[in-house]
Every structure is written in C-alpha cells, then in structure tokens.
Structure 1
Amino acid sequence: MKEEIAKNSVKLFEQKGFTETSIQDIVDSLGVTKGTFYYYYTSKENLLMEIHLHYIDDLLKKQKTILESVKSFRGKLVEIVKLIIHDIELHGAHGRVYFREIRNLTPEHNKTIKGKREEFRVNVMQVITKGIQSGEFRKNLHPKMISFAVLGVTNWSYHWFQPCGKLTVKELADMYVDFILNGIIAERDERDEYSTN
C-alpha cells in the first residue's frame, strides 16, 4: 500500500501540483482512508521527500554502476547521458515531480536532496576531469561548467520530451551524445561548401 500511495501521488502531483493536491485527493484515488495514509506517512511533505529520495538514490545507484563498469571516460559520459534520457521513458512523471516540486520540501529536506543532486553532478565533473587528463577530452575544457551544461541539456528534457512522440528515446539520447561530444561545427569540407568567403 505504501508503494501505491507514492505511485498515485506522483501522478496527482504531476497533474495538479503538490500544493493543489490534498491528502484527501490521494486517499480518494486509492479508495482508502486518511488513517491509511498516516499509517505510512506523517505528512504530505514527508511523502514528497520519500519520492525525491527514492528517485535520486536510484539514479545515483545506476550512475555508480556505470562509473564502475565502463572503462573509458567517454563511454562513462555517454552512458550517463543515456541513463538520464532513458529514465524519462521509464519514470517521466516521477522526474517532473522531482525537478518541479523540490521547492515544496522543508529547508532541511531541500538541503539533503540538493546535496545528492550535487553528488551526481560532481561524479559527471570527475569523469570530464579524468577524461581531460587521459587525453580523451580536449585540454581547454572547464570541467565544472561542462558538467552543468551536460546536465542542463539532459535534465531539461523532462519538461518537454514525450517518448511516445516522433522522436524515440534512443534517437534523442544519440542526438544529445553526438551534440555533447562533437558540438555543432561542421567538418572542414562541409564548412567550405557553405562558406561565403
């Protein structure tokens, strides 16, 4: 029942927003009483915190697996990008609630979640740093700023990407990987073709 409460709450929070969703809305959607809710959660905010914790802890666990199992730093970065994009297909509503509703956590809970988010970003930054040191990435990159850029591009997809649309999850992941690794500058011969000089 605890998992059902969390699952239904994610749907309601995505549709109506956290503040507009009441505990009564949650229990009505499941056909249970408020007593059932309070048996598992002390408050609606406590429920929101558990949703956030479950989400980021799962991502960190998957990221750790990538970091430990993929050998090259380029490969690690590629797999982390794909992890985020594929997560939209699996847990899109959960992700949107996670990014949008953090402002409704208590300051203490907010600090905890932001700390875990920072851990995920620092892991990406370290991949870029070590990739530069190994010669896999360009020497003139700024690891901290690039890590923000990579996560900014991928995380924003939660707000607009629809896996059931014309673009598949794999296509978007491949597109982002190509953009992040290769940029948008054409090859020399292609640039010359469109040059006005």
Structure 2
Amino acid sequence: MRQRLIESGINLFDEKGFTETSVEDITKELQVTKGTFYYYFKSKQQLLRDIHLGYIEYLLNNQEEILKDPGKDSKDKLRATIYMIIHSIQSQKKSARIFFREMRNLAPEYLKQNMEKRDLFRKNVQRIVEEGVREGCFEENLNTDMITRGILGVTNWSYYWFNPEGEVSDEELTDIYLEMILNGITKK
C-alpha cells in the first residue's frame, strides 16, 4: 500500500502540482481512507520527501555502479553517467519532474536531506571530471566545479523536453551531449 500511495502521489503531483494536490485526492484515487495514508506518512510533506529521496537514491545507486567499474576510464564514466540520466527519463520522468519542480515545496528539514544527496551526486560527477584531468583526457586548467554544473545543467534539464520515443534515442542524445561537452561546437 505504501508504494501505491507513492505512485499515486507521483502521478498527482506531476499532473496537478504539490500544492494543488490534497491528501484526499491521493486517497480518493486509490479508494482508501485518510487513515490509511496517515498510517504510512505523517504528512503530504513526508510523501514528497520520500518521492525526492526515491529518485535521487535511484540515481546514486546507478552512479555508484558506474564509478566502481574498473574497466571504464573517465570518458567512459562520463558517458555512462550522462546516459544513465537521459535513460532514466523513460522510467522516471514524473519523479524527475517532481524532483526538480517541487523542491521549493520541501520543508527545510527535508530539503537539507535532499540537498545532501544531490550534492553527493554532483561531487561524484566532479570526481569523474577531475579524474579525467589527472589522466590527461581532459584539459588541465578546467574549473571542474563549473564544468560539472554545466554538464548536469544540460543533462538534468532534458527530463523537461526529451521524448525517449521521439526521433532521437537516449543513446543518440547521450552521444550528442558528450560530443558537445568534450569537443564543443566550433568548426574544426
């Protein structure tokens, strides 16, 4: 039941927004009582927090697999990370939208928890960029913090417009982003 409540919350928060969705909307959709909701969640805020944590933990778990792969150099890890973010849009699009759009509605104690995990994800990407600098794959004098934020800005915003069933596949978009990041768009 807890997972069904989360899924209902994801659907309704995505469709109507967090502030416009009531606990009653969620319970009505599942044909359960408010008591059922409050058995699993103290508040609508806690449900939002759990949706956020579910999404970022999904990304962190996948990222950890990429980072641990001894067969990948920094370019391979960067590509795998970009692909993972883009590919997750297919199964996690609503959660991604809620994660970015509804962050402003998280209570401070929940926001802090969420930001710590977001920062960990960003720092892990920055580690990949720094590793690439050390390996000699990337330019030496990069501002790795700003490069990392740029990479994440490009890839994270894709949840808003990218259609995995559209004319460009997740693999193709990953390659387009990687080419742009590694080589720019200046004519050679």
* TM-score normalised by L of structure 2: 0.96
Give the distance between the partners of 1:123 and 1:160, measured in 2 at CA. Answer: 25
Alignment of 1:3-42 (within 5 A): 3-42=3-42
User: What is the aligned partner in structure 1 of residue 52 from structure 2?
Assistant: 52
**Which amino acid is the alignment partner of residue 20 of structure 1?**
E
Deviation at 1:138, TM superposition (A): 1.2
How many residue pairs end up in the alignment? 187
Deviates further, 17-26 or 136-145: 136-145
User: What is the aligned partner in structure 2 of residue 96 from structure 1?
Assistant: 97
Deviation at 1:137, TM superposition (A): 0.7
**Which amino acid is the alignment partner of residue 91 of structure 2?**
L
SS at match of 1:165: coil
Superposed CA deviations along residues 92-124 of structure 1, whole A, max 9, x for unmatched, are 011000111111111111111111101111111
User: What is the aligned partner in structure 1 of residue 64 from structure 2?
Assistant: 64
User: What is the aligned partner in structure 2 of residue 77 from structure 1?
Assistant: 78
Q: Percent identity?
A: 47
User: What is the aligned partner in structure 2 of residue 192 from structure 1?
Assistant: none
User: What is the aligned partner in structure 2 of residue 194 from structure 1?
Assistant: none
Give the distance between the partners of 2:11 and 2:165, measured in 1 at CA. Answer: 18
Deviates further, 159-168 or 79-88: 159-168
Give the distance between the partners of 1:174 and 1:6, measured in 2 at CA. Answer: 33
Deviation at 1:71, TM superposition (A): 2.6
How well do the aligned residues superpose, as a CA RMSD in angstroms?
Answer: 1.0
Give the distance between the partners of 2:16 and 2:170, measured in 1 at CA. Answer: 26
| Structure 1 alignment gaps of length 5 or more | 188-197
Superposed CA deviations along residues 126-173 of structure 1, whole A, max 9, x for unmatched, are 111121011011112210010000000000111111223222222212
User: What is the aligned partner in structure 2 of residue 113 from structure 1?
Assistant: 114
Deviates further, 157-166 or 74-83: 157-166
Deviation at 1:64, TM superposition (A): 0.7
**Which amino acid is the alignment partner of residue 99 of structure 2?**
Y
* TM-score normalised by L of structure 1: 0.92
**Which amino acid is the alignment partner of residue 22 of structure 1?**
S
Give the distance between the partners of 1:128 and 1:35, measured in 2 at CA. Answer: 48
Give the distance between the partners of 1:124 and 1:58, measured in 2 at CA. Answer: 15
SS at match of 2:21: coil
User: What is the aligned partner in structure 2 of residue 195 from structure 1?
Assistant: none
Larger Rg: 1
User: What is the aligned partner in structure 2 of residue 191 from structure 1?
Assistant: none
Give the distance between the partners of 1:134 and 1:173, measured in 2 at CA. Answer: 22
